[in-house]
Amino acid sequence: LEDADVVADWAARFVLQRVTQFAPGPGRRFVLGLPTGGTPLGMYRRLIEFHRQGLISFKYVTTFNMDEYVGLPRDHPESYHYYMWNEFFKHVDIEPEHAHVLDGNATDLAAECQRFEDLIKEAGGVHLFIGGIGPDGHIAFNEPGSSLVSRTRVKTLAYDTLEANKRFFGNDITKVPRQALTVGVGTVMDAKEVMILITGAHKALALAKAVEEGVNHMWTVSAFQQHAQALFVCDEDATLELR
């Protein structure tokens, strides 16, 4: 698509269509996987507009976020809890008990990751997982070299990710948490549908690696070549390296 705004609008309309076409019932809710970061902000804004216009309700939607930093207080402006509540959840009619974000302050982080996997299973699996990627091709915090069948777990962040995210921490790399909880590549692969948003020339190499070379754990997003219903929504700049 033309640019990041068009990508945001397109992605929001895709969610609108999937959620409104879904028929909820007793124990049947639409299950949506969600990312944070700069890329999906425009999509969230459009979804809030659609909600205000009465076009979409999140009452029968359950969400699972991809990841969360370890050790940042929940109300820290850079925590993904804070981001999700401020940028999206508080503006729509989702019920808090149905909006799941990993707890990066849990005393037992491994148990928290297992709890998250169990919750996804209990919800019946994810209908649509929306993701973003880093310039190094990471999806969620599945850094280069992550197993392509990985599940939700604690991950130490790659230097490139700390570099890319320091802009959110006063440009001070020492303030970026070193670890995060993240869904695995396998967790996202289990979703019925996956939609990955990729914008900007700085992601062009990652997109080319993801779709024009083989499946490779050094570019974890390449795993989605083997997903039955994966969609990459890109702007022109992100396609610069495609053949």
Residues forming the site for ligand F6R (CB under 6 A): 35-39, 66-67, 132-134, 138-141
For this structure, is 138 an active site residue?
yes
In the complex, what is the shortest distance from the CB of residue 181 to ligand F6R, in angstroms, rounded to a whole number? Answer: 11
In the complex, what is the shortest distance from the CB of residue 132 to ligand F6R, in angstroms, rounded to a whole number? Answer: 2
Cβ contacts of residue 23 below 8 Å, gap of 6+?
none
For this structure, is 190 an active site residue?
no
Closer to ligand F6R by Cβ: residue 45 or 57:
45
In the complex, what is the shortest distance from the CB of residue 46 to ligand F6R, in angstroms, rounded to a whole number? Answer: 16
Closer to ligand F6R by Cβ: residue 141 or 224:
141
Which of 98, 127, 138, 217 is catalytic? The answer is 138
Closer to ligand F6R by Cβ: residue 61 or 198:
198
72: left (phi over 0), alpha (psi -120 to 50) or beta: beta
Which of 68, 117, 143, 190 is catalytic? The answer is 143
For this structure, is 217 an active site residue?
no
Which of 67, 112, 117, 190 is catalytic? The answer is 67
Structure tokens at 162: 């700390």
In whole angstroms, give the CA distance from residue 183 to residue 104. 13
In the complex, what is the shortest distance from the CB of residue 25 to ligand F6R, in angstroms, rounded to a whole number? Answer: 30
| Sign of the torsion angle spanned by Cα atoms 199, 89, 142, 120 | negative
For this structure, is 93 an active site residue?
no
Closer to ligand F6R by Cβ: residue 35 or 177:
35
Between helix 41-52 and helix 4-21 the angle, nearest 10°, is 50
Q: Is there a contact between 166 and 172 (Cβ–Cβ < 8 Å)? A: yes
- Cα distances from 6 to residues 41, 96, 132, 231, in angstroms, run 12, 30, 16, 15
| Sequence letter at residue 139 | I
- What are the residue numbers of the active site? 67, 136, 138, 143
